[in-house]
Amino acid sequence: MTSTARHIAPASTDSGRLARLIDLGIALSAERNHNRLLEIILEEAQALSHDDGGTLYIRESETRLAFAIMRNDTLNITLGGTSGNLIPFPPLWLYDEKTGAPNENNVATYSAVHNETVNIPDAYDAKKFDFTGTKAFDKNTGYRSKSFLTIPLVNYEDHVIGVLQLINAKNPATGETASFGPDVQPLIEALTSQAAVALDNQQLLKGQRDLLESFIKLIASAIDEKSPYTGGHCQRVPTLTELLVDAACASEDPAFAAFDLSEDERYEVHIAGWMHDCGKVTTPEYVMDKAAKLETIFDRVEIVRVRFEVVKREIELAYWRALAENKRDAAELEARRDAELAAIEDDWRFLEKANVGGEAMSDADVERVQRIAKRRIRGADGRESNLLTDNEVYNLTIRRGTLTKEERTVINNHMAVTIKMLEQLPFPRNLRRVPEIAGGHHEKMDGTGYPKGLTRDQMSVPARAMAIADIYEALTAADRPYKKAKTLSETIRIMYNMKKTAHIDPDLFDLLLKSGVYKKYAELFLKPEQIDEVEIEKYLG
């Protein structure tokens, strides 16, 4: 709301002033832009009192008053607020930094400390306050600062949250500088009371919003800290989602002609982005961080390695035993031993590679794992068993990646948990779509995704954008030990195939490329060696 003051009644009469004050109270309560709210307070105070200028201070801590906005009509000065002109003056100390004594020399700080209105007819005659700075300003500018009306802004807790200071009241009839009369002061005090309520409400809402956002970011950071291999994921996905959504709002493509977001809706997307993986707090670390097929709390491949060493020992013992018994020629026995050791070493290298889970396993590889597993090994107790357990075979024969079917179900379940957690939160009306936006980033456009199997038409644009952001971030992330970070060209090629198979939204994928968002994100988060050239034209349409 940038034109609130225009709708306030004129104040040429006492009844007009009262009507203006009533209208102003409504306008102040409706204004949501902080800087504009400050401007309205000062502008309307000037209009009610017919003065030449003023300053609005905001209490930025228990010990300081900060200049928020300054105006002087005669000198054509407008600083702070929405003007874009910074106020060059430092904050005023309410108390002495060393002694803690109240600062009673400055009229604004005196008013704040004592919660008292100060009406000064002529600053040059004032004995109680130090107007040395004012007089120096007048000397430099040729201005004459005379009457001052300084009023504290007090909230419902009787706490001073700011100070309004008006300067040089004008006689409406003659335009001459006058004092702030007894008819004006109560009106301005009533205005500051309304202003204090509006400012306090705005500060309370901002405080609640800051607390909510800090809490949400705390949860996201905890999830990233929980897994050293996905650190930053919960921070990068919101950034890319917002970049893509902003591009959709700005796009003139027919696909996004009717799409736009208000400030509240953009904040809704922001919160949803930070909360999109909150369900991972329930996902076991050994599943979420599983970098190898045999990994649980530790990588069991080391146990398998020990068994292979036992097999090698048995081969060596068999060689020396046969040699001692003169069963065969020494050269023949040595050749046989070396062949068996080479074979077992080759099997070990094969299993070691299979454990990484980088490439898809062929049927022949699966059969080889099963064959190796059946080799018998004698334990310390003399009992024989297979070289690999059934569970180890099951894990080592995972066709792609490192997760078993059951572990993938556990991973996928984090989405259901995310939605369940978010739907239990009492989000205000402006954040009611957070669960839908955050809970859809593993859905596919053809309805084969999870957890709800939604189709493209059942998802909002921000939810579809987050699905793209989640994939793009995962492909390009350089902090996963179980995969190599993809270059831009590799990532776009993979995602293009996802577009063709109705995995991701085709319009948003095209927008990712045409808007340059894919590269903007890369410049923020990717390593230089990942950023290569992408011929986007062949992936569009």
pLDDT digits (tens, 9 = 90+) for 338-393: 999 999 999 999 999 888 876 678 999 999 999 999 999 887 777 888 999 999 99
- Nearest to 467, CA basis, from 424, 497, 494, 505: 505
pLDDT digits (tens, 9 = 90+) for 449-505: 989 999 999 999 999 999 999 999 989 988 766 567 899 999 999 999 999 999 999
Higher-scoring residue by pLDDT: 541, 122: 122
Tell me the CA distances in angstroms from 99 to 91, 96, 127, 187, 480, one per residue in order: 18, 5, 23, 37, 56
What DSSP string describes 175-207? --EE---TTTHHHHHHHHHHHHHHHHHHHHHHH
Residue 146 pLDDT > 70, yes or no? yes
Yes or no: say if 245 and 269 are a contact pair by the CB < 8 Å rule: yes
CA 433/CA 431 separation, integer angstroms: 6
229-279+428-539 has CATH 1.10.3720.10 classification: no
Q: Which residue matches tokens 């109240």?
A: 102
CA 179/CA 51 separation, integer angstroms: 9
Q: What are phi and psi of 79, to 5 degrees?
A: -125, 150
* Beta pairing class for 177-178 and 160-170: antiparallel
What pLDDT is stored for residue 460 in this prediction?
96
Q: Quick one: three-class SS letters along 255-273? A: HHCCCCCCHHHHHHHHHHH
What pLDDT is stored for residue 417 in this prediction?
86
CA 280 and chain centroid, separation: 17
Give residue 142's region: left, alpha or beta (phi > 0; psi -120 to 50). left
Higher-scoring residue by pLDDT: 464, 33: 464
Within this chain, domains 4-205 and 229-279+428-539 share the same CATH topology: no
Where are the domains positioned within the chain? 4-205, 229-279+428-539, 301-402
DSSP 452: S
- 446 forms beta bridges with 455
Token readout for 21 is 């004050």
Q: What is the mean pLDDT of the chain?
A: 87
Q: For the domain bounded by 4-205, which CATH number is listed? A: 3.30.450.40
Token readout for 119 is 């009406």
Yes or no: say if 518 and 488 are a contact pair by the CB < 8 Å rule: yes
Q: How many residues does the chain have?
A: 541
CA 53/CA 261 separation, integer angstroms: 38
pLDDT digits (tens, 9 = 90+) for 205-241: 888 888 888 888 888 777 777 766 565 788 899 999 9
pLDDT digits (tens, 9 = 90+) for 438-447: 999 999 999 9
CA 243/CA 266 separation, integer angstroms: 11
CA 192/CA 200 separation, integer angstroms: 12
What pLDDT is stored for residue 6 in this prediction?
37
